[in-house]
A and B are shown apart, each in its own frame.
Chain A
Amino acid sequence: MSKTPRKFEIFTDSAEEAGARSGQRLDIAIVGHVDHGKSTLVGRLLHDTGTLPDGKVEAIEKMCERRGMAFEWAFVMDAFQAERDQAITIDAAHIWFSTKKRDYVIVDAPGHREFVKNMVSGAASCAAALLVIDAGEGVREQSRRHAYFLHLLGLSRIVIAVNKMDAVNFDAARFAAVEADMRDYLAELGITPSHVVPVSARDGDNIDIRSERSPWYDGPTVTEALDAIQLPEADSEAALRMPVQDVYHFDDRRIIAGRIESGKLKVGDELLFSPSNKRARLQRIESWPDSDGRASAEASQSVGLILDEQIFVERGEMISHVVQPPLESNVFRGHLFWLGREPLTTGKQYKLKLGTLEAPVTVQSIDRIIDIDDLAMTEAASGNASIERNGVGEVVLRSRAMLALDEFGNNQRSGRFVLVDGYDIAGGGIISMRGYPDQRQLITGKSSNITAVDYGISHAARRQRNGHKGGVLWFTGLSGSGKTTIALEAEKQLFQKGYQVYVLDGDNVRGGLNANLSFSPEDRAENIRRVGEVAALFADAGFIVLTAFISPYRSDRVRAREAVERRAEGAFHEVYVKASLETCESRDPKGLYQKARAGDIPEFTGISAPYEAPEEQELVIDTNGLSEEQSVAALVAHIEENFATD
């Protein structure tokens, strides 16, 4: 090599070489199937860019001699004795090098299947990836698996090195075949590699120096391809997201500490804290050692904020502006990879880490398990599915508390989460809200100048007049489970017994009160919210209300319960009208299942939209086994027992 040696360990540049180099550094993950030559490629890259410290090549020569083996470039990287003995890389390592254009850190990810966690740990912080494929062996299981994980980690800048071209005599057709194969797979993930380079890492072809053995190739070398990658811009233009990391009380100041994940803020901005929905104005941004404070701050800065009023906020809340706030929901879909020692299973509770928030969540369902090799999705059988270590799938997670979150497609930083099993980080994933509504609009009151009127007539007076308490019997169950049939018959019987009773059904609210609502998840949730409020008023007026709505979301029913019990404790009884999907589908009184199966009704509960069965209900009516008569009798008995005054 006649090159001027470039510096080992270098990365920045500020003063003297300004302009010559950007002063930025690019972190790249190197991935690929075991034995496809990643370590060799890195060793060669360090050598050819003049990055190796003096004497390193000689030291490796000696080491190889001692072991009685041929010179091995991979030993440049293999720091551990144990690795040298086993000749495999154990953990992700960081290697520094630089080209004329900029500085790099290569994060080496191991090829062994059981070490996916190290690959994820290494690659998650990178902005780009170098994928190595053996020209002879072609695309293998780990080539695909690693590419898939890059996709899940949000890495879309990828350079492919087709290695060991010397072993296939630099055959252009063989190169084209491997290239096409990998491009096809990546295309399914929505990734286009920036370059595909034919190389021989062992001999140094097309690494930093253009090879004469591949005259048919006119693309860049590996270093040229890396230099061509555009650095990602910091996310300062996106909506403001700053998770509260801590609250400090120093020198009588109350400082809200955290890092801005996206967007920017300035003194005077009105800040919204979610999910508490508190607001305050930003009075000051702290600074040290000078104590003048800053006027503004932007994405990736760690800051300390002082508000204009003392509101109670704590770690885990998400700070945003009032416009473009995060979604609020206590249920979401996660597209996740699993690293846990024990498989992820339905019904199990884990600790969710979302930004700085920690909250217990339960796996409500595992909806899909994805075979990374061919990207085939297996619809998971309900109930007994699980995702094994190193597996990937789509799950629905539910928390008791309301969460502030974003879809990954809208914000990569606040749209991802981690699950902890026991003491260990066991999985990571990205958030989708497909099929689930934003609950923010439902819990945030729009009018604030309303004073509730105290009614002159007491509950006791109404109870005495009617002979029973007011209350709501909230039915939930699949379409065709028998809700309306039971409600109408029970209404008749109760009326005859002297009850003030009324049925709220889809048809008598959809036509008027809720005529402006569609069947989107948001409108369905709003439909149920309004029914809950109306039912609460009826119950307050002393009526027994029977509501006959599918009401598939647990969160909606919880909200209806709160609306009713705000006025009268114990007045809300959830009634689970239970029938299997098969039973309901065979009844199909309105022919709706048939239409849904044919795809004529989108988002049909039980078929193409989720149904969340109750966990704690006051009454179950199992219409799989009970006749209509028995079902109605069970309901009437329950009402007489719980609502009659004498």
Chain B
Amino acid sequence: MLDHLETLESQSIYIIREAYNRLERLGMLWSLGKDSNVMLWLARKAFYGHVPFPVVHVDTEKKFAEMYEFRDHYSKEWDLNLVTGLCPPIEETDPTLPPAARAAARKTEGLKALLAREGYTGVFAGIRRDEESTRAKERVFSPRGETGQWHFRDQPPEFWDQFKTDFPPGTHVRVHPLLHWSEIDVWLYTQRENIPTVSLYFARDGKRYRSLGDEDITSPIVSEALTIDEIIAELRVTTEAERAGRAMDHEAEDSFERLRADGYM
């Protein structure tokens, strides 16, 4: 009988392999955070050490210095085909969004530009259902129209691991191999597999980052956790939401939903 982490791992590998077989031009979004590091690890596991598609970093140029170092180090060590794309200035985003959401919307625009440039028909994204309530409604294979929009009212049926893999031209699909994982699962697995992690997740001067975004719109939480064990112990008792430190989620009731409908991860 498989244990819980083995079951999660096996399901994610199935999803990654299914996308690799059914979708033509694939890219894997790598935000350098804990979730996408697990996703990348699972891809290497699915293909026995290879990553047979480009790994994509949508760069807002506002990430923490440690994140850039991490990216440059491991893309070389793991022999990744790293593709990066820059984001447009904030002036080009929807002016009706609140300020931090506009900063997040830059990333959406950067992603759309990159998708258009590289012609991807499938993009892996490491989102999870338990992170945020609109993400809870996602499909594993989630189609997007030509403008990248998510039609949450009219999502395809998805059951028995038979995913939607047929699309009219112009559509691309977001593939979510970690949708069924929880935050604690990600840490337990990171620990068990010894997956490298950006140091910002661990406490420094009584604070650590629980979720990593742009440096100017992400705040750390109060924490003394220096190891993964301590992070897990902390998560077991907190009733704070994971993305509490991500300003864009909290400016208005529907900020995140609007961002996602428009193509945010």
Contact = CB atoms under 8 A, between A and B. Distances in A.
Contacts of A54: 239-240
Nearest to A4: B237
A353 B166 CA distance: 12
B254 A7 contact: no
A433 B139 CA distance: 32
A288 B49 contact: yes
Given A80-B257, A300-B7, A7 B157 contact: no
Interface stretch (B30-38, B55-63, B148-156): B148-156
A445 B130 CA distance: 54
A8 interface: yes
Given A80-B134, A90-B152, A301-B10, A24 B182 contact: no
Contacts of A516: none
A12 B159 contact: no
B157 A121 contact: yes
A93 interface: yes
B238 A315 contact: no
A537 B229 CA distance: 76
Contacts of B133: 79, 93
A125 B49 contact: no
B165 to A, nearest CB: 9
Contacts of A79: 133-134, 136-137, 257
B189 to A, nearest CB: 10
Interface in B211-265: 229, 235-242, 253-254, 257
Interface stretch (A243-251, A517-525, A580-588): A243-251
A215 interface: no
A418 interface: yes
A596 to B, nearest CB: 38
A180 to B, nearest CB: 32
A124 B160 contact: yes
A80 B132 CA distance: 11
B241 A53 contact: yes
Contacts of B73: none
A9 B7 CA distance: 18
A120 B157 contact: yes
Given A304-B48, A424-B156, A96 B17 contact: no
Interface in A105-121: 117-118, 120-121
Interface string A3-20: 001011111101100000
A289 interface: yes
Contacts of B159: 120-121, 124-125, 153, 418, 428
B164 interface: yes
Interface string A284-307: 001011000000001011101000
A468 interface: no
B192 to A, nearest CB: 8
B133 to A, nearest CB: 3
B14 interface: yes
Given A93-B136, A301-B10, A302-B46, A8 B5 contact: no
A245 B14 contact: yes
A246 B20 contact: yes
A8 B240 CA distance: 9
B10 A259 contact: yes
Contacts of A80: 134, 137, 152, 254, 257
A255 B156 CA distance: 32
Contacts of B167: 423
B237 A7 contact: yes
B188 A14 contact: yes
Given A54-B240, A121-B157, A91 B137 contact: yes
Contacts of A315: 21
A301 B133 CA distance: 29
Given A121-B139, A315-B21, A424 B184 contact: no
Given A54-B239, A288-B44, A353 B130 contact: no
B95 interface: no
Interface in A124-176: 124-125, 153
B3 to A, nearest CB: 7
A12 B184 contact: yes
A298 B47 CA distance: 19
Contacts of A9: 130, 182-184, 235, 242
B96 interface: no
A88 to B, nearest CB: 12
A420 interface: yes
A612 B153 CA distance: 42
B149 to A, nearest CB: 15
A10 B137 contact: no
The residue in B14, B160, B253 that gathers the most chain A C-beta atoms within 10 A of its C-beta is B160
A504 B184 CA distance: 72
Nearest to B164: A425
Most buried by B among A11, A153, A250, A422: A11
A380 interface: no
A121 B137 CA distance: 11
A579 interface: no
Contacts of B242: 9
B204 interface: no
B137 A92 contact: yes
A548 interface: no
Interface string B145-178: 0000000110111111010101110000000000
B238 to A, nearest CB: 7
B39 to A, nearest CB: 15
A245 B9 CA distance: 16
A120 B155 CA distance: 12
Contacts of B166: 351, 420, 422-424
Nearest to B254: A81
A82 interface: yes
Interface of A: 5, 7-12, 14-15, 23-25, 52-54, 63, 79-82, 90-96, 117-118, 120-121, 124-125, 153, 233-234, 236, 245-246, 248, 250-251, 255, 257, 259, 286, 288-289, 298, 300-302, 304, 315, 339, 351, 353, 416, 418, 420, 422-425, 428
7 nearest A-B residue pairs (beta carbon): A79-B133, A124-B159, A117-B157, A302-B13, A81-B254, A418-B162, A423-B166
16 contacts: A9-B130, A14-B4, A23-B4, A24-B4, A25-B4, A79-B137, A96-B182, A121-B159, A246-B20, A246-B21, A248-B48, A288-B44, A289-B44, A298-B2, A425-B164, A428-B162
Given A94-B130, A423-B164, A425-B162, 18 more contacts: A14-B4, A14-B5, A15-B229, A54-B239, A79-B137, A80-B257, A91-B152, A92-B137, A118-B155, A121-B159, A250-B48, A286-B48, A288-B49, A301-B2, A301-B10, A418-B159, A425-B158, A425-B164
